[in-house]
């Protein structure tokens, strides 16, 4: 990550000046809603999804504290996705014109925000590509690793045991599987000694083997912001 100047710190703090609280399962934005604001997720967990023509839901990504969401507002006037709260959440809305000001006054910070958003898109691309090229077990294993790694981004105390925070149906909607198939894959991962489950928590018992099974790449660990201008 990068060291921020005082001006960049002030600009980042201004993104969180307004706060909105939503309850679990509340929809922040629906597909095709008019877009005028972006948001920073301050507390809780969210997901982004689209509805397919046959009524099925495809979850695109899970959203964690610190993430900027509704970034399509920078290119479109209507939302291409639905944003829903998976837990009680706090979001900080800001007008998209704020990003224009940021590009003019703190361009290094704006570039960093856009780069981090691209890392999210790459991770989403990995998961969507895996739906067509990997086994069901690999998809579920990769999602478990991704969620653990994203949680650790906000809390480095998290080790190999974590609260999953999503249902088997939601895992299925993210990986192109039925909830029944997800349950079968989770049991298989348990039986093979790669994970343990209990009390709503998942424990990675053999992380190296799980990574190999999933063919998983931690996209956030690989982020390179070294190209950004150095501090003056």
For 42, what's the count of Cα atoms within 13 Å in the CB-facing half-sphere?
16
**Alpha-carbon span 168 to 159, nearest angstrom:** 22
The pLDDT of residue 178? 96
Treating both helix axes as pointing N-terminal to C-terminal, what angle do 179-191 and 136-154 enclose, rounded to 10 degrees? 80
pLDDT tens across 172-212, in order?
999 999 999 999 999 999 999 999 999 989 999 999 999 99
pLDDT tens across 49-64, in order?
999 999 899 999 999 9
Strand partners, 29: 83
The pLDDT of residue 3? 87
**What region does 176 belong to: left with phi over 0, alpha with psi -120 to 50, or beta?**
left
Q: Which of 23, 174, 172, 169 lies closest to 84, judged by CA?
A: 23
Whether the CA torsion 86, 113, 39, 22 is positive or negative: it is positive
What is the number of other CB atoms lying within 10 angstroms of the CB of residue 201? Answer: 12
Given the DSSP bridges, would you call strands 82-85 and 27-29 parallel, antiparallel or unpaired? antiparallel
CA dihedral 20, 23, 26, 28 (to 10 degrees): 10
pLDDT tens across 63-83, in order?
999 999 999 999 999 999 999
The pLDDT of residue 232? 64
Q: Does 156 score more than 90 pLDDT?
A: no
The pLDDT of residue 133? 87
Instruction: For residue 14, give the DSSP letter.
Output: H
Given the DSSP bridges, would you call strands 20-22 and 161-163 parallel, antiparallel or unpaired? unpaired
pLDDT band at 157 (very low <50, low <70, confident <90, very high): very high
Q: Does 154 score more than 90 pLDDT?
A: no
pLDDT tens across 75-110, in order?
999 999 999 999 999 999 999 999 999 999 999 999
Q: Does 225 score more than 70 pLDDT?
A: yes
The pLDDT of residue 137? 97
- C-beta of residue 91 within 8 angstroms of C-beta of residue 28: yes
- pTM given for the model: 0.92
pLDDT, the chain, mean:
94
pLDDT band at 1 (very low <50, low <70, confident <90, very high): low
pLDDT band at 128 (very low <50, low <70, confident <90, very high): confident
Percent of the chain whose predicted confidence (pLDDT) is above 70: 99
**Alpha-carbon span 59 to 38, nearest angstrom:** 20
């Amino acid at each position: 990550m990068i060291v921020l100047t005082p001006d960049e710190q002030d600009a980042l703090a201004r993104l969180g000046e307004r706060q909105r609280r939503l309850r679990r399962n509340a929809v922040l934005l629906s597909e095709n809603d008019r877009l005028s604001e972006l948001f920073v997720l301050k507390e809780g967990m969210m997901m982004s999804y689209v509805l397919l023509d046959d009524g099925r839901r495809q979850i695109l990504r899970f959203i964690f504290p610190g993430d900027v969401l509704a970034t399509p507002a920078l290119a479109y006037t209507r939302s291409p996705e639905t944003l829903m709260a998976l837990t009680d959440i706090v979001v900080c809305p800001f007008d998209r014109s704020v990003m224009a000001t940021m590009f003019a006054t703190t361009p290094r910070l704006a570039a960093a925000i856009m780069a981090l958003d691209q890392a999210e898109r790459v991770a989403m691309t990995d998961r969507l590509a895996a739906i067509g090229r990997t086994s069901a077990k690999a998809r579920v294993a990769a999602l478990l690793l991704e969620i653990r790694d994203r949680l650790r981004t906000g809390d480095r105390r998290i080790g190999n045991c974590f609260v999953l925070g999503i249902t088997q149906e939601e895992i299925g909607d993210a990986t192109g599987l039925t909830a029944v198939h997800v349950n079968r894959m989770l049991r298989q991962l348990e039986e093979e000694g790669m994970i343990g489950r209990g009390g709503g928590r998942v424990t990675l018992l053999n992380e190296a083997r799980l990574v190999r099974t999933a063919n998983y790449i931690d996209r956030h660990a690989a982020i390179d912001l070294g190209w950004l201008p150095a501090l003056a």
